[in-house]
């Protein structure tokens, strides 16, 4: 089993401290995870599934996730 990934940003109201409970209550296997309030992404980063849909009201945060996904090398150069 692959280790879970960690959020790249600490998010107010984050779910990291509740991951044990969330994972205990989640199905063992599933095909799609929908995360409507992604924040730092602790929940979706702790899961291994083929399809993940994330959303958040913070558009800058969603843009950051898109850049990480679609342009990681360019981001690393800027950092």
Q: Where along the chain do its domains lie?
A: 1-8+31-79
pLDDT at 76: 93
The tens digit of pLDDT for each residue in 26-76 reads 888 889 999 999 999 998 888 878 899 999 999 999 999 999 999 999 999
**32 neighbors 71 (Cβ within 8 angstroms):** no
pLDDT at 67: 95
The tens digit of pLDDT for each residue in 4-33 reads 688 888 878 888 889 999 989 988 888 999
> What's the number of CA atoms in the CB half-sphere (13 Å) around residue 17?
5
With a CB cutoff of 8 Å and minimum separation 6, the contacts of 5 are 45, 46
pLDDT at 2: 60
**39 neighbors 60 (Cβ within 8 angstroms):** no
């Amino acid at each position: 089993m692959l280790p879970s990934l960690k959020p790249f940003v600490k998010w107010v109201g984050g779910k990291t401290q509740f991951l044990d409970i969330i994972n205990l209550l989640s199905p063992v296997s599933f095909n799609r995870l929908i995360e409507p309030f992604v924040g730092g992404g602790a929940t979706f980063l702790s899961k291994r599934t083929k399809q993940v849909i994330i959303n958040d009201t913070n558009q800058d945060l969603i843009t950051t996730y898109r850049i990480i996904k679609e342009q990681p090398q360019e981001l690393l150069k800027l950092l």
